[in-house]
Chain A
C-alpha cells in the first residue's frame, strides 16, 4: 500500500476547536508520512484528545483542515460510501478497554462486522481474515469466541486493535491506548504495535501523557499545552534536550530511578481553580 501522491498519509493544518468561549485547540498543524509515527503529548485539558476526535470525525473543527490520503475530511461525510472510505483511511483505538467493545459481541463477531461493512466478501473469506487478524494480535481461538467480559484488559485491547486493523487503515490513532493497562501487559501491547507497523506499514498517531511510551513508539512528537503546540521535533531530541519551559517541566516530572519530586517548581502554573 503506497500513497499514489507520495505525500503524507495524514496532514493537519491550522486546526482550531472552540467549545463556546473555550479554545480547546488552537492553530495545530502536523503531517504524518506513510509508515511514520507522531506523538501528541500533553496533560489533561491540553486538547490532545479533541485533536484525535476531530481527525476521526467525531468532532467538527471550528477552523483548519484535515486530509488523509490526500482527501479532505474536515467536513462531515456526505454519503454512506464516503463515510466508509474515511473509515478505511483512519482508525482509532481508545483508552478504556472495558467500554470500547460491545459487551454482547465476541471478538470474532466484532471483527466480522467491520469486514462486512468494508468489503463485499463471501463468508469463507471473511472467516479466514478474522482468523488472520486474531492471530496477528495474539488471541487464541477460544479468546476470539469469548465475550468481552471474560477477557482481561490487555486481551480486550488486542480485540480493539484487531477491529481497527480490519478496515485496513493507513493511519491508526492510539488515544492513550496503553495507559489503562498493567505494566507487564503494556509492554506486550507496545511490542504488538511495533509488529503491526512492521507487517502492515500503518502510520501511528499516539495521543499520550506518558513520555516513556512516546519514546518507545514514535519518531516525532509535538508537545501541546492548553491547546497550543509549544514544541515539536524528533522524539529523541525533544525528550533528551527539551527547549520549552513546559516540556522541561514535563520531562522533569517523570519518575525514574534516582528521581526525587521537587516542590514549588510549578505552583500556579498548570494548577488552579477549575
Chain B
C-alpha cells in the first residue's frame, strides 16, 4: 500500500501536535490502536476523491469508542481502513498502528494474527454469511483453518459462545442454515463468531441499524456485557449519538471525512464542544416532547471531496459561522478534556446545548 510507514518516525510523530491524553492515551497504558493523519483517496468515475482527511484517533485496551456521523462522514471508511478492507485502488497515507505495529506493513503470519485479533461485524449479517453453509460450519471456520483448533473443540467453543450471546438450544442452532434464523438472531451469531478467535479489538459497523428497536436493545446489551467481560476494545460505528453514548466511553464525531469532536460520551449530549455535534443532537426529535419546530440543520451532509476547500467543512451549514471559520480549515484542538475542530470552540463554550429545541 502506498505511502505508509515510509517516512521516518521522527517526522510523523508530532503530526497532530496533541497531548497523548487528548487522543485517548494515558502515559501508563499504550494504546491498542493508533490512527494518525489517515487520509484516503478513492477512485470514483476516473477521478480521485478524498473520503478521509487527516483522521486521528486512539483506542486503549478494553476501551469502547463510538464513531458517529451522517452519510459521507467517513465513519465506515475509517473502520475499513483499519481492517485493510478498502476497495482496490484506494490511496492511503498516514499511519495505523495496532499494538505498536504498522498495520499496512504486516504480511504473512503477522497479518493472519492481526486478522484474528481484530474482528468486524456489519450492518447486514445476511450479506456476510454464506447462505448454503450451516451456522456451526461458518462459526468454527476461522478456528479450524487459521488457529488449527480441532473440530470437536472448535464446535464446543462455538456452542459455549452461542449460549453467552443468549441463543437457546445452541447445539440445534449449529446445525441450522442462516435463512432459518431471524435478523436479530443472526446478528448475535455474527457477534459470537467474531468473539471466537478471542480478538482484542472489535469493529462494529452499525450492527443494530437494521434491527427492530427491542431487538436492538437486546443486542446492544449483549455486546456491552461481553465486551466488558472479555476486556475487549471496541469501535462502535453508528449514526445515532445516543446509541453510541449508551455503551461507549468516548465518542468520536465525524463530518466530511474528518474528526470534528472527541468527547467523553456522557458529556456529549448536554455539553458538546463542536457546533455540529450540538446541531445533530438538537435536530433529532425528542420522544418526551413535541417541538413546535425541530432545529434542522440547513443543507445536507457532504463527503470529504464535496466539502468547501480552504474553510471549515461545516461552515456553510453552521449557525455560528463567522469570518474566522471561512479564513481557513480549523485544526483539531484540545478543549476541556476533549478535542474540537472548530475555530470558535473556545468562544462558544457554554452556549452549545444539544437538547435545546425551541
Verify whether A and B have any Cβ pair under 8 Å: yes
A interface with B by C-beta (< 8 Å): 43-44, 152-155, 182-188, 190-191, 194, 209, 211-213, 215-216, 235-236, 239-240, 249-257, 259-274
Contacts of A261 in B (CB 8 A): 216-218, 220-221, 224, 246-247
Beta-carbon contact of A186 and B283 below 8 Å: yes
Q: Which residue of A lies closest to B283 (CB)?
A: A187
Interface positions, chain B 265-279, Cβ under 8 Å from A, are 269-270, 279
Known contacts A43-B213, A273-B180, A257 near B224 by CB under 8 Å: no
Name the contact of B284 in the complex, choosing from A187, A188, A262 (C-beta under 8 A). A187
Interface-centre pick from A239, A249, A259, A268 (highest chain B CB count, 10 A) = A259
Besides A188-B298, A212-B286, A264-B221, 16 more A-B contacts (Cβ < 8 Å) are A155-B300, A182-B300, A183-B239, A183-B280, A184-B296, A186-B284, A187-B283, A209-B213, A212-B287, A216-B294, A250-B214, A254-B213, A257-B242, A266-B218, A267-B168, A273-B185
Contacts of B17 in A (CB 8 A): none
Contacts of A236 in B (CB 8 A): 290
Beta-carbon contact of B296 and A212 below 8 Å: no
Inter-chain CA distance A256–B285, complex, in Å, is 11
Interface positions, chain B 189-239, Cβ under 8 Å from A, are 212-218, 220-222, 224-225, 239
Beta-carbon contact of A264 and B300 below 8 Å: no
Contacts of A263 in B (CB 8 A): 166, 218, 221-222, 225
Smallest Cβ distance from A3 to chain B, in angstroms?
A: 26
User: Nearest 3 CB-CB pairs, A to B?
Assistant: A263-B221, A187-B296, A261-B220
Inter-chain CA distance A267–B71, complex, in Å, is 33
Contacts of A155 in B (CB 8 A): 300
Contacts of A153 in B (CB 8 A): 71
Inter-chain CA distance A155–B214, complex, in Å, is 31
Beta-carbon contact of A183 and B283 below 8 Å: yes
Contacts of B184 in A (CB 8 A): 271
Beta-carbon contact of A184 and B245 below 8 Å: no
Contacts of A265 in B (CB 8 A): 217-218
The 24 listed contacts between A and B (C-beta, < 8 Å) are: A182-B71, A182-B239, A182-B301, A183-B280, A184-B283, A184-B300, A184-B301, A185-B300, A187-B285, A187-B295, A188-B298, A215-B289, A216-B285, A239-B288, A240-B288, A249-B214, A253-B216, A255-B240, A256-B242, A256-B288, A257-B269, A271-B214, A272-B182, A274-B182
Q: Which residue of B lies closest to A256 (CB)?
A: B242
Q: Mark B152-174, 1 if CB is under 8 A from A, else 0.
A: 00000000000000101000000
Q: Which residue of B lies closest to A269 (CB)?
A: B214
Kindly state whether residue B149 has any CB partner on chain A within 8 Å.
no
Inter-chain CA distance A152–B302, complex, in Å, is 10
Name the contact of B290 in the complex, choosing from A215, A271, A273, A274 (C-beta under 8 A). A215
Inter-chain CB contacts under 8 Å: number = 149
Beta-carbon contact of B166 and A184 below 8 Å: no
Beta-carbon contact of B246 and A259 below 8 Å: yes
Smallest Cβ distance from A226 to chain B, in angstroms?
A: 12
Inter-chain CA distance A22–B212, complex, in Å, is 20
Inter-chain CA distance A274–B246, complex, in Å, is 29
Q: Which residue of A lies closest to B268 (CB)?
A: A257
Known contacts A152-B300, A183-B280, A187-B295, A271 near B285 by CB under 8 Å: no
Beta-carbon contact of A270 and B212 below 8 Å: yes
Beta-carbon contact of B70 and A215 below 8 Å: no
Inter-chain CA distance A129–B220, complex, in Å, is 49
Q: Which residue of A lies closest to B293 (CB)?
A: A191
Known contacts A191-B294, A272-B185, A213 near B212 by CB under 8 Å: no
Q: Which residue of B lies closest to A263 (CB)?
A: B221
Kindly state whether residue B41 has any CB partner on chain A within 8 Å.
no
Contacts of A267 in B (CB 8 A): 166, 168, 218
Kindly state whether residue B324 has any CB partner on chain A within 8 Å.
no
Known contacts A187-B297, A188-B296, A257-B242, A271 near B70 by CB under 8 Å: no
Kindly state whether residue B307 has any CB partner on chain A within 8 Å.
no
Beta-carbon contact of A257 and B270 below 8 Å: yes
Contacts of B220 in A (CB 8 A): 261
Kindly state whether residue B243 has any CB partner on chain A within 8 Å.
yes
